[in-house]
Amino acid sequence: MLPLETSTLVFWQDERFWLHGGLILLVLAVFAYVLRLLFAQRPLAHGAAWWLLLLSAVAFSTSIACRSAEAGYFALSNMYESLLVLSIATQCLFLWLDRTFRLPAMGWPVSLLVLATVAYATTLPTNIQPLQAALQSYWRSIHVPVILSAYAMFTLAFISSLLLLVQSWREQGAPSHRANGQQNIHAASQGLPSFGLPLLATGPEAAGGSGALSLVSLYDEVTYRCVTLGFPLLTIGIILGGLWANEAWGNYWSWDPKESMSLVTLLGYGVYLHLRVNGEHRPQTLAWVSVAGFVLMLVTYFGVNLMGVGLHSYGKIG
Amino acid sequence: MTVAPAVSTHVSSPVSAASVAEQLPALPEPSCSPAVDSTVSQPVVPSSGVEADPAKWPVRVLAYWGAETLALFRSVPLAIMLIALLAIATLVGVWIPQEGLVDLADIKRQYGASYQTLKAFGLFNVYSSPWYVALEVLFFFNLLLGSFRWLKPATTAGLKRQFLSVSQLQKASTALAPIAVTAPWPVTLEALRKVLKKRGYSVYVQPDGQPDKPPVPDVSINHSLGETRVYATKGWWTRLGPAVAHIGILLLLVASLYGTLTGFKVQHVAVPGETFRLSAADRLFKNAPAGFWLGQVPPWSIRVQDFHVDYYANKPDTPKQYFCTLDVLDANGKPLRQGETISVNHPLTLGNFTIYQASFAPTGKLFLTLNGQPVAVQADQNFNNRPIAVLPVSASGNRALFVFPFYRQQDAGVTDNNVVVFLHNGKQFEGAAPGKMPTNLRLSEGQSGVIAGVKVGYVKPEIATGLQMKEAPETFWMYLAFFIICLGTVMCFPPQRQLWLALAPVSSAESSQTTSPEVVGLLYWLPKTNKGKHLFQQELARLQLELIQCLAPPGPEDQTLAQSVAVHHQPHARKEPK
């Protein structure tokens, strides 16, 4: 029988304290985002959701910082840590998007997805392992966060695309909604919850001047902005990985499954960007391409790890 | 000095940001085409000389097919198709296990009879298969030709300092409602310039509607009243992004080709004390076939002085880092580098030649002491599927030590390198009995003991270092290409905002119809953005408000004035959504 571990850490140095605190804040953020939709006019509902999500991101970041202090290196070397950092990146980038575009309808799916991600991460092995030699490089602290930031942008693009498709379906499916297509925005700006699907109906409330553009157009733009930011991040991340590989192994590229799949993801989003600049494509078509890109991203992030082959095997699940 | 908005007839309430925002009409959809049709150059129709001569029809056919083929090769749809095909082909390589990454025997076992068929299609070596390389080559030419064909107009469209006249702006369906102006031209222009500059725009003015005059970049204007055209833009450099990224990709492909034609790789497993020539290493791969390879293997040798591995104290079976100390010698044995220590992530570089610490492995050689005398034995015998070393301890050879080596990492549960030693007397192990383990010694590194009167010590196992070396003359160009690609993709992110403005004097007839004779002109304006139209709409709302607030806060008199002007000058303003 193993002796009971006696921790010398005070509570605020304990990563679990911040992790659990962040989870509680995140649950509250999900509720706050739902309330924010229902009571869009209330200033408290407006600010509370945003701040709760921010505090939750700060708590998760502190948890990673505590873990890094305990491990003696930047704790971003296994799937648990990777998912946690991805969640933080998604939260922070959504907070920025929300500030820029006013996207209350995106708040609850984003915060819910982050909650599910962190909850799943906690089921994975969380014990701190010593770093293998190949991972002891400053490149790890650059390459991995950049890639995860790209993944966060693609996740937000995915959610925005889904909202676009749902909104488009609603506008096409129900004449009342179609007629109300422009009015949803104004209803939201006046604090009136729209009918039907309230969680998906409201959009850029009080987005000064954007009243003339539809919600489909707004989500199309948000998706585009997310992809145009995610694409360079993924490009830079892959190139940084290539530079690291060249320094560690003498090869920029080894056609390792993770590498190849990241190239597939990059090419997928490359198709999205080229479709945008070539001809007029329906926002719905582009949204489906974005969804396909997200599926490729998931295969890169999770799927390849299940194969257990290649140079990125430390990212394996379990 | 007063500039009043003429965007709505409902100006009885005080002008505020919110009201201005609501009044703004929709922005034009992002497009690569110019906002207003300017002179469109018609394609030059070739002379009918070829058509008239029936004898030249093969030339016509060839020219037609040539032009068609070229157009196809450089088209964006082909680029999209090739990107998608490359993605699918790469996906195949991820899905099907690839030789080199997975053990060949495993692949054969997994695919059985279909192995040969799939291999014939190159599916176990996708990334070097002819069809994948063909796709890459096609992509390269599409990129090369397309970059010049469609990137140029797309790039220059945003870089042109184009001025639009009042009549052009009046015809533009996406123009915003004009703003009434009461101040003299120079004052108005100065105020306009200030507001636009504050928002980060570069402002260019073409005075008096004279297209022959060169644009005046951002200087104080002092001229007589007349039609004045203004062009303002910000983020023009983002238009260069796609071109920069494509140039980077082309450079990357060319640099890779250069590396293929001139570079080589070397792999060698060396033990401390060993010296080997590069040309005689375990494996030497030239990056291209002999007939095409243009490089040269330098006549250098590598001398491995020492190798050691550091393990984690709290996890003894996990190597923390491994180090190799080596010398690089020229053809005459003269050291080019001496006593250099390399480790994982810390290679040694000599120009374009780099030496990497790749791996390590025990060679099976064991350094022992026998009755105080150092001996080295090789574990080249087999005992129950385990390699062992047999060390005779008697002159006749009947008595021998059976040495079983155990290594960390390789053997489960082993936390340090050790040996287990048995003494065999020619018939059986010493101390052997039914159900009982024969007498043995387990010795870690540096330990010694006595078995059946024989004193044995274990010094250490021999560990070989796996070195990887490569000559990469393309390194600089590769890094430059990486930088350019990163720069290009980042440059694509911000939008380009463009504003075409024109100040037009109000004729005396028009002026007499207004309630106030103070109105001296109208400011027409047309916005355009290549992306981010929602944010641009918000910015325009603020910009309009700033124009008003910056020049002169509107009083009741101004509102009346604005109202009167708006009645007469808003035929092109789009209807607001209700």
Q: CB-hemisphere CA count at 13 Å for B70? A: 11
pLDDT digits 0-9 by tens, B249-283: 999 999 999 998 999 999 999 999 999 999 999 98
Q: Which of these ranges, A114-123, B157-166, B207-216, B264-273, has the smallest mean pLDDT? A: B207-216
Contact B537 A235 (CB under 8 A): no
pLDDT at B513: 55
- In the block, tokens 């954007």 appear at A210
pLDDT bucket at A91, cuts 50 / 70 / 90: very high
CA distance B250 to chain A (A): 15
Across the strands, what pairs with A314? none
pLDDT digits 0-9 by tens, A6-64: 456 677 778 889 999 999 999 999 999 888 888 766 666 668 889 999 999 999 999 99
Distance CA B58, CA B71 (A): 19
pLDDT at A317: 45
Q: Of B138 and B545, which is predicted with more confidence?
A: B138
Which run of H or E residues covers position B180? strand B176-181
B13 touches chain A (CB under 8 A): no
How large is the average pLDDT for residues B365-379?
Answer: 91
pLDDT at B556: 47
Which has the closest alpha carbon to B179: B559, B525, B578? Answer: B525
pLDDT digits 0-9 by tens, B293-313: 898 899 999 999 999 888 888
Beta-carbon contacts of B320 under 8 Å, excluding residues fewer than 6 positions away, are A130, A133, A136, B310, B311, B312
Asked whether residue B576 carries a pLDDT value surpassing 80, the answer given is no
Helices (H) and strands (E) in chain A, counts: 12, 0
- In the block, tokens 């320094």 appear at A247
Helices B130-149 and B241-262 sit at what angle, rounded to 10 degrees?
140
Contacts of A100 in chain B (CB under 8 A): 535
Contact A271 B84 (CB under 8 A): yes
Contact B492 A243 (CB under 8 A): no
Contact B83 A260 (CB under 8 A): no
> What is the DSSP code (8-state) at residue B79?
H
Distance CA B506, CA B166 (A): 12
Distance CA A50, CA A60 (A): 16
Which has the closest alpha carbon to B188: B176, B180, B200? Answer: B180
Contact A263 B90 (CB under 8 A): yes
Asked whether residue B510 carries a pLDDT value surpassing 80, the answer given is no
Mutate to test the interface with B, among A240, A278, A285 (most CBs of B within 10 A): A278
pLDDT at B327: 95
Contacts of A271 in chain B (CB under 8 A): 80, 83-84, 87
Which has the closest alpha carbon to A288: A197, A203, A168, A199? Answer: A168
Take residue B291 and report the two structure tokens written for it.
Answer: 């007939």
B91 touches chain A (CB under 8 A): yes
Contacts with A, B 175-194, CB within 8 Å:
none
Which run of H or E residues covers position A31? helix A15-38
Do the beta carbons of residue B140 and residue B236 sit within 8 Å?
Answer: no
3-state helix, strand, coil in chain B (%, to 5): 35, 30, 35
pLDDT bucket at B512, cuts 50 / 70 / 90: low
pLDDT digits 0-9 by tens, B423-440: 888 888 888 888 888 888
3 state DSSP class of B389: strand
pLDDT bucket at B546, cuts 50 / 70 / 90: confident
Phi and psi angles of residue B524, each rounded to the nearest 5 degrees, phi first: -95, 145
3-state secondary structure A133-191: HHHCCHHHHHHHHHHHHHHHHHHHHHHHHHHHHHHHHHHHHCHHHHHCCCHHHHHHHCC
> What mean pLDDT is reported for chain B?
78
Asked whether residue A239 carries a pLDDT value surpassing 90, the answer given is yes
In the A/B pair of chains, how many CB contacts fall below 8 A? 166
The b-or-e profile of A253-285 (16+ CB within 10 A means b, else e) is ebbbbbbbbbbbbbbbbbbbbbbbeeeeeebbe
Highest mean pLDDT among B162-176, B298-312, B396-410: B298-312
| Complex ipTM tops 0.90 | no
Selecting from B90, B482, B490 the residue whose C-beta is nearest the C-beta of A260 gives B90
How large is the average pLDDT for residues A248-257?
Answer: 83
pLDDT digits 0-9 by tens, A269-300: 999 999 988 777 899 999 999 999 999 999 99
- In the block, tokens 């029809």 appear at B57
Q: Where does residue B447 rank: exposed (0-12), middle (13-18), buried (19+ CB within 10 A)?
A: middle
A295 touches chain B (CB under 8 A): no
> What mean pLDDT is reported for chain A?
80
Do the beta carbons of residue B536 and residue B522 sit within 8 Å?
Answer: no
pLDDT at B519: 67
Strands B440-444 and B386-392: unpaired
Beta-carbon contacts of B143 under 8 Å, excluding residues fewer than 6 positions away, are B79, B246, B249, B250, B253
User: Could you tell me the pTM of the whole model?
Assistant: 0.78
A268 touches chain B (CB under 8 A): yes
pLDDT bucket at B525, cuts 50 / 70 / 90: confident
Take residue A277 and report the two structure tokens written for it.
Answer: 């600049």
pLDDT bucket at B143, cuts 50 / 70 / 90: confident
pLDDT at A28: 94
pLDDT at A215: 87
Asked whether residue B564 carries a pLDDT value surpassing 60, the answer given is no
Give the Cα-Cα-Cα angle A67, A73, A76 (nearest 5 degrees): 70
pLDDT digits 0-9 by tens, A139-168: 888 999 999 999 999 999 999 999 999 998
Mutate to test the interface with B, among A5, A78, A246, A300 (most CBs of B within 10 A): A246
